[in-house]
Structure 1
């Protein structure tokens, strides 16, 4: 995993776990790597992974079975979708709107691009 300088590492690790869940690598009820295992795998301090796990646990995405480990919650995918959607609305859209305003891009241009994007997703050959 390559870390960037724009976000704290523990948030990037939490996003990594969420992405793994959305991709089906970690399914609901599935045990995820222990704090130490993930720290070794990602070459980070275990305290950093612990902060990520605490964040995910507080969000209801993972839960801890004492002495056994951390597991993906049954409603994790719903929680992740809600959190990511809110993050997109709160963080990405305002930045995008500012750029649109600076560049004089109209919302209809964005709608056209989005429609084309969806068409390509349905038919990747085009």
Structure 2
């Protein structure tokens, strides 16, 4: 996994976990990969993964069953979607709209591009 400068690495790991759930690569109710295993896979300190899992647990996306591991909550999908939508609308959409305005791009022009992107990246 390649990390960006921002946000913090533990947040990027939490976002990665959420993305796997949204893409249905990891099913609701399933046990997550252990902290040590994930840390080894993505080559970070286990404490960083622990911090990611703590964040996800605070958001009620995962839960810890002592001695067994971390599990994806049954309603994790809704919680992730709510959180990510809110973040997108607050942080990314204003920048996107500003660029559309400055570049004089009509929203109607974007629909075919969006459909093509979805087809190429998510419908395989």
Residue in 2 aligned with 1:41?
Answer: 41
Residue in 1 aligned with 2:110?
Answer: 113
Deviation at 1:122, TM superposition (A): 8.3
CA distance in 2, matches of 1:3, 1:85: 22
**Structure 1, unaligned stretches of length 5 or more?**
none
Deviation by residue 1:70-111 (Cα, 9 ceiling, x = unmatched)? 0000001111111111111011012223323443x26xx024
The alpha-carbon distance between structure 1 residues 65 and 6, as it changes in their structure 2 partners (threshold 3 A), is same
1:30 aligns to 2:30 (yes or no): yes
CA distance in 1, matches of 2:17, 2:118: 27
| Alignment length (residue pairs) | 120
Deviation at 1:20, TM superposition (A): 0.8
The alpha-carbon distance between structure 1 residues 99 and 50, as it changes in their structure 2 partners (threshold 3 A), is same
CA distance in 1, matches of 2:52, 2:100: 33
TM-score when normalising by structure 2: 0.85
SS at match of 1:70: strand
**Structure 2, unaligned stretches of length 5 or more?**
none
- Kindly report which structure 2 residues correspond to 1:52-91, keeping only aligned pairs within 5 A, or say none: 52-91=52-91
SS at match of 2:15: helix
Note the aligned Cα RMSD (angstroms): 2.0
The alpha-carbon distance between structure 1 residues 122 and 63, as it changes in their structure 2 partners (threshold 3 A), is closer
